[in-house]
Structure 1
Amino acid sequence: MTEFWVCFSCCIAEQPQPKRRRRIDRSMIGEPTNFVHTTHVGSGDMGLGLASVDLVQAQMKSKGGY
């Protein structure tokens, strides 16, 4: 059996290069706007139990849909 290779370059589109995100440094970041402090989570807060974690997660979901 004979192998026959044909290159159809007209049918193969070049894949576009993925766009690289521009690197952000501190000088590009401004002050917070409309900031509201709703809760504090510190290293000692996690020792209070799972109910506390659930409360914080519920607050976060209500504020930004996370």
Structure 2
Amino acid sequence: MTNALHMRRAVYAFKRNGVEVIPAPTGFIHKTNTRHVWLEGLPNGLAVKNVAYAMHEYVGLLWYYFK
């Protein structure tokens, strides 16, 4: 069981090492407040954090791909 954000990288790493995987992601990123939909286009701290997490995962996938 792992965080949904890095599930793809975790599955790839295990399969690459010959381990059979049954993905069971947890900890999904979701919207909790939909009252102010018009504000969604503006930058905020949570969006920056989510982009940083995503970039970390993409770099990790590239690392495993070229390793």
TM-score (ref. length: structure 1): 0.30
Tell me which protein shows more strand as a share of its residues: 2
Q: Taking CA–CA contacts closer than 8 Å with sequence separation of 6 or more, which of the two structures ends up with the larger relative contact order?
A: 2
Greater CA radius of gyration, 1 or 2? 1
TM-score (ref. length: structure 2): 0.30
